[in-house]
Amino acid sequence: MSKKHKLNGSNEICRSVDRSLDEYFKRLDGETPTGVYDMVIGHVERALLSSIMERADGNQTQAADMLGMNRNTLRSKLVKHKLA
């Protein structure tokens, strides 16, 4: 496959993260944010893993292949996010 595909014909994931971060910063109401990177990565990773596991019908080997990681790494992340 030589052509790169964008999700839904656009970069909807980035726009969604941008919108969520805008809302997050508005709700801080002037407070200084801390740990934003870990918060975002944790939430996005959990949502991604959950979605892929559902699409793979719970098959961790298939899910790991879809994600481009080995099964042990996937298993570790599933445990970390309490998805296993």
Which tens digit of pLDDT belongs to each residue from 54-79?
999 999 999 999 999 999 999 999 99
Q: What residues have CB less than 8 Å from 62, skipping those under 6 apart? A: 56
Q: What pLDDT shows up at residue 9?
A: 54
Q: What is the pLDDT of residues 19-60, one digit of tens each?
A: 999 999 999 988 999 999 999 999 999 999 999 999 999 999
- Decide if 45 contacts 81 (C-beta within 8 A): yes
Domains of the chain: 7-80 (1.10.10.60)
